Structure 1
């Protein structure tokens, strides 16, 4: 039989045992609220970061990872392309090769997207080459007299409107800024209006890879075209064959098209194709797969990729090898097209060395 004192002690023990239980329950409740709050904050942060990534990449100011860059670009492009692709391809085949893709401006659809922007990489002292190209295939494709070269702007505009093809000579500036070399180019450009002058690039043979990279970056920033082509200034281009070939590849959002090769890496300093970083290519000293430098084409997504990441894309001794290295490890469609092998001319060829 329990006494009054023992009953009091028992009730006190029960009361005291309830206090830790209550504290634990309160702690668990507060912890749950804290964790839920952090999860909600993390979710908000993720949404914010995604929006910031879209904003920054849309302005072309970020050196984000290559995979993220291509995923963002591809996603956006595919949403725009899928619905209209079959219709556009049918129209392209019927009308020849001019891309009829429409772009939206202030809520109205009016202006078609160019098919290709061609950058003809040229140098100082090569006006004869440029005049030969102007007469042979720039503009209306017909031979022009030396006097009519000064009115080539109208012919260029006609080629852009009728064929969807934009062509520009690409050149940098003299190491002695403002000298006779620069003045001659400025004078020629005032007459022909067919140059893309890279004001922040110094012309030098060893800087050709950087020059090609800057062409793609600036062209992608200025023109929203389907494709972008690099051409040497000693190459004849068959404009009709080029247009017809590119029209057949409109369904490839990440296209790298050209005369594909690998080839030996030369470690001898006196060799014409010497590669100072030859040791980076392994014991067999063979280049990775890349398009020959006389002429090659990339799609809009790859040109934008170069534009966004121009500050971190490295270069080797040659521009064609450098371009091939920029796409290593990416989800890129390499297309080996014999018509782009400019060393030989055949029926239906795209280009030929002159």
Structure 2
């Protein structure tokens, strides 16, 4: 009887120990599972962070980096190391007196691509405004050249030519029903006037601009544009077209001659859009056209906008900027 009891106790003890062992193993397995899962999760997060960091450094965005791209990055790093070593050797050679005559000086003219070409729309009688702009932010002479070389910002006053008597006569013949005899008289007077002028084109206003430009060399004269208030949109288009054909800049800006510009702030702002090919920075105008003369915002040319009497959406304002691609588009489609 005692043997049976002892056997039963021994058996129950074995069962308890086996259950305890099973529970311990289960707890250990659970903890191990949590540990492994945590490590895998941490490794996954680290891989994501590393991928994003590599994308940011190499400029690949959210796309995966291929083997070719990785090899290119490694090659660039090697070239950078070689370049640094060559620069150190060059500095050491200069210290020893070995300086090549072909090396450019520090103050030599930079051939870097201009950031922006600024066209300042001005008029014949606005010399005081031009002088104020030169003193305020544009500069003149060596200062203007320094801004162009160091900051890549080119500024020019934009102006057309005087409204000539011949154009005036033709305009009045078609729009004011002048007699042909009056037109012939006006044309004859204009021809006699131009023959009596000096080699400078146009009247005294044109010559004054030419003389001012000889002193300052900061004008962009649109020879085929006639200065008139109603021709301001065409003047802006002509500037963009001319500038895009003559300067390989990233941006082209139109500004009026009564605006004082912070060129450093402009440069910093435009630098953030260099990688975007089609950019417009400025205001857009649209809305109702008012035909009543008593209205504050009376539009003299209200009849040009049709029955709807609404402005089509267009660039407007004292200043706006377009990228090179848009300036080229204007040049092709003007």
Q: TM-score, normalised to structure 1's length? A: 0.50
Which residue matches 1:153?
A: 141
SS in 1 for 2:287: coil
Distance 1:256 1:281 in 2: 27
- Corresponding residue to 2:322 among 282, 285, 298: 298
Q: Given the superposition, is the C-alpha separation of residues 246 and 184 from structure 1 closer, same or farther in structure 2, using an over 3 Å criterion?
A: same
Q: Given the superposition, is the C-alpha separation of residues 128 and 247 from structure 1 closer, same or farther in structure 2, using an over 3 Å criterion?
A: same
Distance 1:281 1:135 in 2: 45
1:68-98 Cα shifts (integer Å, max 9, x gaps): xxxxxxxxxxxxxxxxx959xxxxxxxxxxx
Q: By how many angstroms is 1:209 displaced?
A: 0.9
Unaligned ranges ≥5, structure 2: 1-57, 61-109, 165-200
Distance 1:270 1:217 in 2: 38
Corresponding position: 1:209 with 2:233:
yes
Residues 200-279 of structure 1: matches in 2 within 5 Å?
A: 200-268=224-292, 274=299, 276=301, 278=303
Corresponding position: 1:173 with 2:161:
yes
Unaligned ranges ≥5, structure 1: 1-84, 88-109, 140-151, 311-354
Q: Given the superposition, is the C-alpha separation of residues 200 and 261 from structure 1 closer, same or farther in structure 2, using an over 3 Å criterion?
A: closer
Distance 1:269 1:198 in 2: 34
Which residue matches 1:163?
A: 151
Corresponding position: 1:286 with 2:274:
no
Residues 118 and 254 of structure 2 are in contact (CA less than 8 Å); yes or no, is this contact kept in structure 1?
Answer: yes
- Who wins on radius of gyration, i.e. which is larger? 2
The structure richer in helix per residue is 2
Q: Given the superposition, is the C-alpha separation of residues 182 and 162 from structure 1 closer, same or farther in structure 2, using an over 3 Å criterion?
A: same
Q: By how many angstroms is 1:111 displaced?
A: 3.0
Structure 1 stretches of 4+ with a deviation exceeding 4 A read 269-273
Which residue matches 1:55?
A: none
Residues 289 and 302 of structure 2 are in contact (CA less than 8 Å); yes or no, is this contact kept in structure 1?
Answer: no
1:96-124 Cα shifts (integer Å, max 9, x gaps): xxxxxxxxxxxxxx832111000000001
Q: Given the superposition, is the C-alpha separation of residues 244 and 281 from structure 1 closer, same or farther in structure 2, using an over 3 Å criterion?
A: farther
Q: By how many angstroms is 1:267 displaced?
A: 2.5
Which residue matches 2:333?
A: 309
Residues 119 and 231 of structure 1 are in contact (CA less than 8 Å); yes or no, is this contact kept in structure 2?
Answer: yes
Which residue matches 1:116?
A: 116
Q: By how many angstroms is 1:273 displaced?
A: 5.3
SS in 2 for 1:263: strand
Q: TM-score, normalised to structure 2's length? A: 0.53
Residues 290 and 302 of structure 2 are in contact (CA less than 8 Å); yes or no, is this contact kept in structure 1?
Answer: no
Which residue matches 1:321?
A: none
Distance 1:117 1:211 in 2: 16
Q: By how many angstroms is 1:252 displaced?
A: 1.7
Which residue matches 1:59?
A: none
Residues 114 and 160 of structure 1 are in contact (CA less than 8 Å); yes or no, is this contact kept in structure 2?
Answer: yes
Q: Given the superposition, is the C-alpha separation of residues 86 and 241 from structure 1 closer, same or farther in structure 2, using an over 3 Å criterion?
A: farther
SS in 1 for 2:310: coil
